[in-house]
Structure 1
Amino acid sequence: MSEAKTLYQQLGEGPGIASVVDRLYELILADETLSPYFVETRLSQQKGHMAMFLAAATGGPNGYKGLDLDAAHAGRGITDADFDNVIGHAATALTEAGVDAETIGQVAGALMPLRAQVVTGEAAA
């Protein structure tokens, strides 16, 4: 009897997550509402942090050594809509990588509790 795979394993471990993260940032940077947040960001470093973060969040190794989420997003003015857009782009990147809907739902479920640490702004009236 085989053991159930972790989300990390289902996503293809390090190489699979790196591929999804690359596509995620292509989608984010093409999104006119999200791209301004990354104007002064070193993308190679950002992608590395995201890949390590996703690895840990999906049951893989925890190699993340960056700022905690509160500190990394403080003062950025990120709204609930922005957070939802990133989750949507993540779902697209995962779908394009051949990940099934149930697994995408599990990944989104792992990310949703982070909303309180990431959202630091309010939507414009």
Structure 2
Amino acid sequence: MSKTLYERIGGEPAVSAAVEIFYRKVLSDYRINRFFDNADMDKQIAKQKAFFTMAFGGPNSYTGQDMRNAHAGLVKTGLNEEHFNAVMEHLGATLVELNVPANLIAEAAAIAESTRNDVLGK
């Protein structure tokens, strides 16, 4: 049986490290950091770790909303394609920083990209 992306990138330690680095990048980016002004970042980071774990084929402990509902309020305040692209940029840069092989980065990016329409309410 082939390993999941979650297993191939290094499991829980890799996902945890990636999410921590990812949010450092996001929160320092003037293009998108305003969307997190009222967020409880400890909860946000925990939800993101659970989501990536589930999305990458690891143990499913994600109990958050679906992507469309979770981002609907942000769409109303202007979340758009440019913002989604910035998030994708930070995800890729994070995985590069962690020396994740290019083929696994592409796989992770494809999974993240598959949420675009729901995140943007399309």
TM over 0.5, yes or no? yes
Q: Matches of 1:88 and 1:82 in 2, distance apart? A: 10
Structure 2 alignment gaps of length 5 or more? none
Q: Is the 8 A contact 1:55 1:62 kept in 2?
A: yes
Q: Which residue of structure 2 aligns with residue 25 of structure 1?
A: 23
The alignment's TM-score, normalised by the length of structure 1, stands at 0.90
The answer to which structure has the higher helix fraction is: 2
Structure 1 alignment gaps of length 5 or more? none
Q: Which residue of structure 2 aligns with residue 116 of structure 1?
A: 117
The Cα of 1:120 is off from its aligned counterpart by 4.2
Q: Which residue of structure 1 aligns with residue 108 of structure 2?
A: 107
- Count of residues paired in the alignment: 119
Q: Which residue of structure 1 aligns with residue 3 of structure 2?
A: 5
Q: Is the 8 A contact 1:20 1:97 kept in 2?
A: yes
Q: Matches of 1:10 and 1:91 in 2, distance apart? A: 16
Percent identity among equivalent residues? 31
The structure number with the bigger radius of gyration is 1
- Counterpart AA for 2:48: M
Q: Is the 8 A contact 1:6 1:58 kept in 2?
A: yes
Q: Matches of 1:71 and 1:4 in 2, distance apart? A: 33
Q: Matches of 1:52 and 1:61 in 2, distance apart? A: 9
Superposed counterparts of 1:75-90, under 5 Å:
75-76=73-74, 77-90=78-91
